[in-house]
């Protein structure tokens, strides 16, 4: 009984708040906040229950037939939980942040309604047990994100929204075609039965893989499909956080993970000769994103190109197809999320409190907002890969995995990327901590009010601490690394 109930409940904890919030009148902010936070907290509690269950070998499954043989299937396995846990944890913090960020702005019922719907879609993506289920939630995510991107309703937001839809819907069409082409030959595909694709024509399989990964690559911002992501920077900061760390980009990367690990299987991907091209594409994206980030003087744009680069570590790890590299890719799904959301939270807070949007405007920010800048610095150092931060752990496993898979050139990519990361993050830290503020007579603000609204400060501090902890305690079983090793051990049958 509970086996089927849990996935439904965990989905409902964000779907129901979405529906309730849509119906709330605009001034009812107390009730809206309560519903939001209650949903987020309930989801986190359910996730903890499932973590314990799945660690002990349980799986939870809910099946809803569409037509005979074609089911909407929610299944909680270890990989699903990796993503759900990340999104549940970050959603709670992003909600707190968003409530503070939006203050008493207009259209909040619409905003938080779609916000919750987005997280429901992300949860659905994580729990999907079959290709059609995945596609359903993947599209729900595309569509429920759009109103958030255009939330401000000015010309710039609408243009960004058009570009976002143009890219993502095009990607969806490719993904759909790939899925249908595959399923027209094999019947409906679920994420468990390995080896059902054996015996199909190699050309068909290669074509499907290309279409599916290409389609997913739009959301995962693989170059040259990435241009929507920097453009979407016009969205409010909590939406950027959601796009970059919790939901959209991650959904693409997670989809690639599912396709490689659970649809084709790493063995078949290597056999078809598809791993190396994907690894090359990911490597190119890593370097290209970093180079472009270097050239940006708008903080959020710099962070956006950094996302383009960092998310491709995930695809790189999976493309190398060795278990060690795959662990590195999977763990980066979590690590990148923790670090990048911290950076965006901080960027939003800096923009709100200091009106700092460009790199030069960060001068002396460390004195004005020490906590925020501390969190920012931890995340930035983690991105660069300084031990013992989370980013270092990812890169270590990726590097080891590359050697194990016999692809030593990847080490050069990792090293080059780390140098570039340092080149675009360290100047920010230098300006914030070592240069004097631009306007010498900054208003005398009492110490405890300096950082602005606590709702903008607390979330990044917590995520920065989590990023630090993920690196420091990586050896623990319930650390992201421990969990990623569990997934790979189960998937490779080690």
Partner 1 sequence: MADGLADGPWAELLVALPLAGMLLALPLGGRQAHRLALLVLAAGPVLALLLAAQLWQGGVVGVALGGFAAPLGIALRADGLSVLMLLTTAVVLCATGLAARAGFAPRPGQGETRAGLLFWPLLLALWGALNAVFLGNDLFNLYVALELLTLAAVPLVCIEGKPEAVAAALRYLLFALLGSVLYLLGAALLYGAHGTLDITLLAARLQPGPATWMAGALMTAGLLAKTALYPLHLWLPPAHAAAPAAASAVLSALVVKASFFILLRLWFDVMPALAGLGGATLLGGLGTAAILAGSLLALRQERLKLAIAYSTMAQLGYLFLMFPLAGGGTEAQPWSAGAWTGGVLHAVSHALAKAAMFLVAGLVLQAAGHDRIRALQGLGRAMPVAVFAFGLAGLSLMGLPPSGGFVAKWLLLTAALASGQWWWAVPMLAGGLLAAGYVFRLLNPALSAGEGQGWRPVRRRWQAIPLALALLSVALGLAPLLPYLLLGLGRSPAAEEGLG
What is the contact surface with partner 1 in residues (CB under 8 A)?
Answer: 22, 64-70, 72, 106-107, 110, 132, 135-136, 139-140, 142-143, 146-147, 150, 152-154, 158, 161-162, 165, 169-170, 172-173, 176-177, 180-181, 183-188
CB of 18 to partner 1, least distance (A): 12
The residues, any chain, with a CB within 8 Å of residue 448's CB and separated by 6 or more, are none
Among 80, 94, 65, 100, smallest CA distance to 11 is for 80
Helix axes 454-472, 323-354, angle to 10 degrees: 160
Is 117 or 384 the residue whose CB approaches partner 1 more closely? Answer: 117
Compute CA distances 130 → 70, 209, 256, 291, whole Å.
Answer: 9, 16, 14, 37
Residue closer to partner 1 (CB basis): 49 or 180: 180
> Least distance in Å: CB of 113 to partner 1?
9
- 321 contacts 339 by C-beta, under 8 angstroms: no
Q: Indicate the residue among 138 and 396 with the shorter CB distance to partner 1.
A: 138
- Distance (Å, rounded) from C-alpha 60 to C-alpha 328? 26
- Minimum distance from CB of 307 to partner 1 (Å)? 25
Q: Are 131 and 183 in contact (CB under 8 A)?
A: yes
Q: How far is the CB of 166 from partner 1 (least distance, A)?
A: 9
Q: How far is the CB of 318 from partner 1 (least distance, A)?
A: 26
Which of 70/472 has CB closer to partner 1?
70
The Cα 269–Cα 272 span in angstroms is 5
Q: Can you state the percent helix, strand and coil of the chain, rounding each to 5?
A: 75, 5, 20
Alpha helices in 385-445 (DSSP H): 390-404, 409-434
Give me the helices (H) in 56-154, please.
Answer: 78-102, 108-127, 131-149
Helix (H) or strand (E) holding 436: none
Residue number, 193 or 444, with CB nearest to partner 1: 193
User: Of 136 and 351, which CB lies nearer to partner 1 in the complex structure?
Assistant: 136
Cα separation, 428 vs 416, whole angstroms:
19
> Looking at beta carbons only, is 231 or 330 nearer to partner 1?
231
Min dist CB 279 to partner 1, Å, is 29
Shortest distance, position 150 Cβ to partner 1, whole Å: 6
């Amino acid at each position: 009984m509970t086996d089927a109930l849990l996935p439904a409940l965990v989905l409902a904890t964000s779907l129901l708040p979405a529906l309730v919030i849509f119906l709330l009148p605009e001034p009812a902010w107390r009730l809206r906040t309560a519903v939001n936070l209650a949903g987020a907290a309930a989801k986190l509690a359910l996730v903890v229950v499932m973590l314990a269950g799945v660690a002990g070998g349980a799986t939870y499954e809910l099946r809803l037939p569409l037509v005979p043989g074609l089911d909407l299937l929610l299944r909680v396995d270890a990989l699903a939980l990796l993503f759900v846990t990340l999104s549940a944890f970050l959603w709670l913090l992003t909600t707190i942040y968003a409530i503070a960020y939006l203050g008493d702005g207009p259209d909040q019922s619409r905003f938080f309604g779609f916000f919750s719907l987005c997280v429901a879609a992300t949860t659905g993506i994580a729990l999907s047990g079959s290709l059609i289920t995945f596609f359903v939630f993947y599209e729900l995510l595309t569509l429920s994100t759009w109103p958030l991107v255009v939330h401000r309703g000015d010309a710039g937001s609408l243009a960004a929204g058009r570009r976002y839809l143009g890219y993502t819907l095009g990607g969806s069409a490719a993904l759909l075609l790939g899925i249908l082409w595959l399923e027209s030959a094999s019947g409906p595909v679920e994420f468990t039965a390995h080896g059902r694709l054996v015996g199909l024509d190699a050309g068909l399989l290669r074509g499907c893989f290309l279409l599916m990964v290409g389609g997913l690559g739009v959301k995962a911002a693989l170059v040259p499909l990435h241009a929507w992501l920097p453009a979407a920077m016009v969205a409010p900061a909590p939406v950027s956080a959601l796009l970059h760390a919790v939901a959209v980009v991650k959904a693409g990367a997670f989809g690639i993970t599912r396709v490689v690990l659970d649809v084709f299987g790493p063995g078949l991907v290597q056999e078809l000769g598809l791993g190396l091209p994907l690894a090359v594409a990911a490597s190119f994206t890593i370097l290209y994103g970093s180079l472009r980030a270097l050239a940006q003087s708008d903080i959020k744009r710099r962070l956006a190109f950094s996302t383009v680069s960092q998310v491709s570590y995930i695809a790189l790890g999976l493309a190398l197809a060795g278990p060690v590299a795959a662990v590195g890719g999977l763990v980066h799904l979590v690590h990148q999320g923790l670090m990048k959301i911290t950076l965006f939270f901080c960027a939003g807070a800096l923009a709100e409190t200091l009106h700092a949007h460009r790199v030069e405007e960060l001068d002396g920010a460390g004195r004005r907002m020490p906590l925020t800048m501390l969190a920012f610095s931890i995340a930035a150092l983690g991105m660069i890969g300084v031990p013992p931060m989370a980013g270092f752990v990812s890169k270590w496993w990726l590097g080891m995995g590359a050697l194990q898979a016999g692809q030593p050139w990847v080490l050069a990519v990792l090293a080059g990327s780390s140098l570039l990361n340092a080149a675009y993050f360290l100047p920010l830290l230098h300006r914030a901590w070592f240069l004097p503020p631009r306007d010498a007579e900054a208003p005398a603000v009492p110490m405890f009010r300096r950082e602005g609204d606590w709702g903008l400060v607390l979330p990044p501090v917590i995520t920065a601490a989590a990023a630090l902890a993920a690196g420091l305690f990586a050896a623990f079983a319930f650390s992201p690394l421990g969990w990623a090793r569990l997934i790979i051990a189960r998937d490779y049958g080690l």
